């Protein structure tokens, strides 16, 4: 059991009331303070007061803080991974990979910032020398999701801090315990008070005070569409980077390499039990190869290990009961309407065995709604055009994949797809972290990524010398 505190203006706050955080496996993983609106306001005021001085530090001082932070992430990677095993049921190996990926991300953010923070432009004919600086926006609110509680937090925090912004950070309910380690590290590194604030709390106490505070200059949020839209409705003049989910498609043409395609679908659809916004959530497969592909997929799925995260299983408990119930509602709706499960339908608590559904049709909810679980529905199509048309009917547009040996055809189809990234012969994924990560429609707003987050969290400022 990990009992954590919030961290505001360089002080640890125990809070009068603490709330339990339950592991997806059912036991209490820890507690966190239920902060109130006044605490949240104090966090933003502290961030505001600290900002000018933080931005006035030399670039080297800020860079050194961030590099020391990256080193600490590496040092504490095992500890953080163990917390994640308990708190979000991510297997130890995946959790540790996440932390290591994140320390690299911080170093890449630093390198990119050093590349872009100042640009010299000369206009000899106009007798002007211009320096374009990148200045901080002010206070950044960072809100991360449960599935990458370290990587998707630091992907927001690192670009904000290195460029001279101050931060108020809130993790998802599950993800808060491991998120507190970030505050511990900044405290240990003696980051000036108020520069990084870590808040905790339940929606009913904090309400909208988190994202309506007048001190916020930018919001970087990854999470559900409902909350994302609510944030956006209240964002006023704050810059927003929102990443809100997806319903990624894998289109399989008749000429696809079926072994490769099957492995990518299994990896893309079932990693971390399907709890990734870039997971393959629908497969549109050409009739000619459907049965051959399905038998390869089912063969691999039946070999996936299922059970506790601590035992490094591939399929682990989904995050909570309402998520598990929702996943099963969609599966049952599909089966009631004629879909055929090719794997055993089995659920124990929040543990759902991987499900491959054949004969899924567009009238089924699972063809459209984003479930965060280990379920991949297969929809048969008889043309590329139909596959693209159905893919684009989604309210989401994060990523998608096309599997084929005809790369020219795939590129032609790719340009017709309404998504932020199209993968040819590979499953959807956000990484490498240097890539721009964005979606269209309900998948989000603006771009996350090392260079792109740095650009969005800063403004340009020109000094023009007229000679």
C-alpha closest to that of 64 among 191, 211, 218: 191
Smallest distance from ligand G3P to CB 42, Å:
30
Q: What is the phi-psi region of residue 221: left when phi exceeds 0, alpha when psi lies from -120 to 50, beta otherwise?
A: beta
Give the phi and the psi of residue 371 in degrees, each rounded to 5. Answer: -105, 145
Smallest distance from ligand G3P to CB 447, Å:
13
* Cβ atoms of residues 167 and 194 within 8 Å: no
* Cβ atoms of residues 279 and 269 within 8 Å: yes
Angle between helices 92-116 and 59-75 (to 10 degrees): 170
431 lies in the site for ligand G3P, by CB under 6 A: yes
Q: How far is CA 46 from the centre of its chain?
A: 27
Our CB check for ligand G3P shows the closer of 30 and 420 to be 420
Of 170, 247, 276, 286, the one binding ligand G3P by CB under 6 A: 276
115 by DSSP, 3-state: which? helix
Of 430, 444, 446, 456, the one binding ligand G3P by CB under 6 A: 430
247 lies in the site for ligand G3P, by CB under 6 A: no
Our CB check for ligand G3P shows the closer of 33 and 420 to be 420
273 lies in the site for ligand G3P, by CB under 6 A: no
Our CB check for ligand G3P shows the closer of 180 and 429 to be 429
In terms of Cβ atoms closer than 10 Å to its own Cβ (0-12, 13-18, 19+), residue 61 is exposed
Site string for ligand G3P, 374-413 (x = CB under 6 A): ----------------------------------------
Exposure string (b/e) for 244-253, b if CB count within 10 Å is 16 or more? Answer: bbbbbbbbbb
Instruction: Single out the segment in contact with ligand G3P by CB under 6 A; choices: 190-198, 253-261, 270-278, 310-318.
Output: 270-278
Smallest distance from ligand G3P to CB 341, Å:
25
Our CB check for ligand G3P shows the closer of 209 and 371 to be 371
As annotated, the active-site residues are: 243, 277
Our CB check for ligand G3P shows the closer of 209 and 275 to be 275
Strand bridging mode 248-252 / 375-381: unpaired
Smallest distance from ligand G3P to CB 245, Å:
8
Smallest distance from ligand G3P to CB 109, Å:
16
427 lies in the site for ligand G3P, by CB under 6 A: no
- Tell me how many residues contact ligand G3P (CB under 6 A): 8
Smallest distance from ligand G3P to CB 153, Å:
12
174 by DSSP, 3-state: which? coil
Instruction: Single out the segment in contact with ligand G3P by CB under 6 A; choices: 63-71, 185-193, 329-337, 425-433.
Output: 425-433
Strand bridging mode 11-13 / 6-8: antiparallel
Of 278, 371, 401, 421, the one binding ligand G3P by CB under 6 A: 278
In terms of Cβ atoms closer than 10 Å to its own Cβ (0-12, 13-18, 19+), residue 338 is exposed
Our CB check for ligand G3P shows the closer of 8 and 279 to be 279
Per the structure block, which two tokens stand in for 198?
């870590």
Taken as a whole, the chain contains a residue count of 467
147 lies in the site for ligand G3P, by CB under 6 A: yes
Per the structure block, which two tokens stand in for 181?
């380690």
Smallest distance from ligand G3P to CB 204, Å:
25
C-alpha closest to that of 365 among 397, 400, 326, 401: 326
314 by DSSP, 3-state: which? coil
Of 43, 277, 309, 315, the one binding ligand G3P by CB under 6 A: 277
68/72 Cα distance (integer angstroms): 6
Of 153, 423, 429, 442, the one binding ligand G3P by CB under 6 A: 429
* HSE-CB for 69 with a 13 A CA cutoff: 30
Q: For binding to ligand G3P (CB under 6 A), which residues are involved?
A: 147-148, 276-278, 429-431
């Amino acid at each position: 059991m990990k009992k954590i505190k919030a961290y505001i203006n360089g002080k640890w706050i125990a809070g009068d009331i603490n709330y339990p955080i339950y592991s997806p496996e059912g036991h209490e993983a820890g507690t966190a303070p239920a902060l109130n609106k006044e605490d949240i306001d104090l966090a933003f005021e502290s961030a505001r007061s600290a900002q000018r001085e933080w931005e006035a530090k030399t670039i080297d001082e800020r860079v050194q803080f961030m590099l020391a932070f990256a080193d600490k992430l590496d040092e504490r990677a095992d500890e953080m991974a163990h917390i994640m095993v308990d708190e979000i049921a991510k297997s130890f190996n995946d959790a540790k990979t996440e932390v290591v990926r994140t320390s690299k991300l911080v170093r890449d953010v630093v390198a990119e910032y050093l590349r872009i923070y100042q640009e010299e432009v000369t206009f000899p004919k106009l007798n002007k020398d211009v320096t374009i600086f990148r200045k901080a926006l002010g206070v950044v609110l960072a809100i991360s999701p449960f599935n990458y509680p370290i990587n998707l937090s630091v992907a927001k925090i690192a670009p904000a801090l290195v460029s001279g912004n101050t931060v108020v950070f809130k993790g998802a309910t599950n993800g808060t315990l491991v998120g507190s380690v970030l505050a511990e590290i900044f405290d240990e590194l003696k980051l000036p008070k108020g520069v990084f604030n870590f808040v905790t709390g339940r929606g009913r106490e904090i309400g909208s005070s988190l994202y309506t505070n007048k001190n916020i200059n930018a919001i970087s949020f990854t999470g559900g569409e409902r909350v994302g839209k609510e944030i956006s409705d209240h964002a006023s003049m704050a810059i927003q980077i929102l990443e809100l989910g997806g319903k990624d498609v894998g289109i399989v043409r008749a000429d696809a390499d079926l072994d490769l395609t099957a492995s990518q679908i299994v990896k893309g659809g079932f990693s971390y039990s399907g709890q990734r916004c870039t997971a393959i959530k629908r497969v549109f497969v050409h009739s000619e190869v459907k049965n051959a592909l399905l038998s390869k997929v089912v063969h691999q799925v039946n070999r996936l290990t299922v059970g506790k995260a601590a035992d490094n299983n591939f399929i682990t408990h989904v995050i909570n009961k309402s998520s598990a119930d929702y996943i099963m509602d969609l599966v049952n709706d599909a089966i009631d309407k004629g879909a055929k499960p090719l794997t055993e339908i089995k659920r124990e608590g929040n543990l759902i065995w991987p499900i491959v559904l054949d004969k899924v049709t567009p009238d089924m909810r699972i063809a459209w709604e984003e479930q965060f679980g280990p379920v991949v529905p297969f929809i048969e199509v008889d043309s590329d055009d139909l596959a693209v048309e159905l893919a684009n009917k989604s309210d989401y547009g994060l990523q998608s994949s096309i599997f084929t040996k005809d790369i020219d055809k795939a590129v032609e189809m790719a340009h017709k797809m309404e998504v932020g990234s199209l993968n040819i012969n590979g499953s959807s994924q956000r990484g490498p972290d240097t890539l721009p990560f964005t979606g269209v429609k309900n998948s989000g707003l603006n771009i996350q990524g090392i260079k792109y987050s740095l650009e969005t969290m800063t403004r340009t400022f020109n000094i023009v010398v007229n000679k």
